[in-house]
Amino acid sequence: MSSIRNYLGKIDTSTSEGMAQKETLDILVQLGNAKADFFQSKIEMNLQYAQDKSDSFPIQKVIYNFNSVRCFSANEFAELRSTINSEVKMFLSGVREAALSAISSLVYFELDMLLNRPEHSYEIEARYLAFEGESAIRIDMVVWYQNINIYNLKDKPEKILTVVALVSAIDTKKMNLLAFLNMYQAELSQGGASQEVIANEIAFAKDVLDKPTL
């Protein structure tokens, strides 16, 4: 939200034009927050549906969530990608390093593709797998942007971006082990992990997930 406050601080609200600009930004913030609430509810519904589908990695519980709503201009694209990426890494700081690095790379790539799209508005959904200690988790994420126009505002924002993610503990008793390993391996590969790292991570995953449960 800090970037939004920065823009609000540049508006001269002593004029009718300035008040109109502020009201426009306030509405956009409300829209971004409403989108965040909607996406969180949507992810929660998908997680509930996954409870009955072993190949969708049913969960035990949602552990924690993350959301960010920002306005920004074209000259802030690179900084924004880095900022969101850093926030995601902090949000997932307990994840094993190999998966964290892969997810960070994939999120950065997705943001780069998303923010350079020509559409007026667009959203993407993503799911990642990882381990926190020996606990298998899934990260469900939705990212949405909207192009905006605010006239006569210096360094005006051009997009509003909402990022929502939920981290959930997977119920490993109900999931399909092979489906998990295949998706985890693909994620690591797409995220730039070396073959050695991938082999080590898959060996770790098998060792953890093959352990008998009491």
- The string of pLDDT tens digits covering residues 115-164 is 788 788 889 999 999 999 999 999 999 999 888 766 555 556 678 889 99
- Segments forming the whole domain that contains residue 204: 2-209
Prediction pTM value: 0.86
pLDDT of residue 69: 87
- The structure tokens listed for 12 are 């001269």
User: Mapping DSSP to helix (H, G, I), strand (E, B) and coil, where does residue 117 land?
Assistant: coil
Q: Give the count of domains, the chain.
A: 1
pLDDT of residue 212: 62
What Cα–Cα distance (Å) separates residue 117 from each residue in 57, 67, 123, 195? Answer: 31, 22, 10, 32
How many helices (H) and strands (E) are present in the chain, helices listed first?
A: 6, 4
Q: Quick check: is 195 in a domain?
A: yes
Distance CA 88, CA 67 (A): 10
pLDDT of residue 17: 73
Q: pLDDT below 70 — which residues of the chain?
A: 1-12, 52-55, 74, 149-157, 212-214
147 beta partners: 159
Distance CA 64, CA 25 (A): 29
pLDDT of residue 195: 97
- The structure tokens listed for 58 are 């049913």
pLDDT of residue 2: 46
pLDDT of residue 1: 45
pLDDT of residue 206: 95
CB contact set of 201 (below 8 Å; sequence gap of 6+): 96, 98, 99, 184, 185, 188, 193
pLDDT of residue 82: 81
Q: Quick check: is 157 in a domain?
A: yes
Phi-psi label, residue 33: left if phi above 0, alpha if psi -120 to 50, beta otherwise = alpha
Q: Quick check: is 147 in a domain?
A: yes
pLDDT of residue 156: 62
Q: Quick check: is 73 in a domain?
A: yes
Strands (E), 148-214: 159-170
Q: Quick check: is 214 in a domain?
A: no
